[in-house]
Amino acid sequence: MDNVEANVLTTTYDKIFNWARRSAIWPMQFGLACCAIEMMAVLDPRHDMSRFGAEVMRGTPRQCDLMIVAGTVTEKMAPIVKRLWDQMPEPKWALAMGACATCGGPYRTYAVTQGVDRVIPVSVYVPGCPPRPEALLWGLMHLQRRIDRMSVSNLDDQGPMSPS
């Protein structure tokens, strides 16, 4: 019985769930334009996204928690983004990386979707054109803070969250 105290951890559902979710975010390996280059740079040893537990890029949406929309979403690509989003299991989050994914960026044209939030719900917007790798890390940490505020008693929180 002496070992009980050393081996039993008491916590709340929220804490343990949020800890697990925020510490192992698996992003989707999915780049649309030049922002994807910066997204790759985030994975390299200098910036090292694995410090935040988010280095496991998955090639299929069915194993992902996070969709980093890295680049320009064109009107012809939009339904594919939507389909990939629908294929991801919940809980899931979307991060709009860069000006194009946020609002269309410099492309106010007939061919470009004016922000990926017209197609899927976005949790974090990272500004920049393209954003520095540090900015994407900031977006990831921001997302982790938001995941930390989630509650198992309210599943609606998994959608786009109110600004912190």
Partner 1 sequence: MTDSDNGKPLDETPPTDSAEAEAKAKEEAAAKAKAAKAKALAEAEAAKEPWERDPSTPSWEEVEDSLLVDSLRAAHADAVLSARSFAGDLVLEIDSQSIREVCRSLKEEHGYKLFVDSCGAHFDNREEKELEVVYILHNLETNDQVRLKVRVDVGVEVPSVAKVYAGANWAERETYDMYGIRFTDHPDMTRILLWEGFNGHPLLKDFPVEGIDTGAAIYPETYTDNAGPVAGTGTGWRPPAPPEEKTSQSAPESSGEES
Q: Where do contacts with partner 1 occur on this chain (CB under 8 A)?
A: 12, 14-15, 18, 75-76, 78-79, 82-83, 108-111, 113-114, 117-119, 149-151, 153-154, 156-157, 159-160, 162
Give 112's strand partners. 74
Q: Is the peptide bond before 91 cis (omega within 30 degrees of 0)?
A: yes
Distances in Å between the alpha carbon of 9 and those of 6, 17, 23, 28, 139? Answer: 8, 14, 18, 33, 31
CB neighbours of residue 6 within 10 Å: 7
The length of the chain, given as a count of residues: 164
CA distance 119 to 83: 10
CA distance 164 to 146: 8
Which H or E run contains 66?
strand 66-70
- List the helix and strand counts (H, then E) for the chain: 6, 3
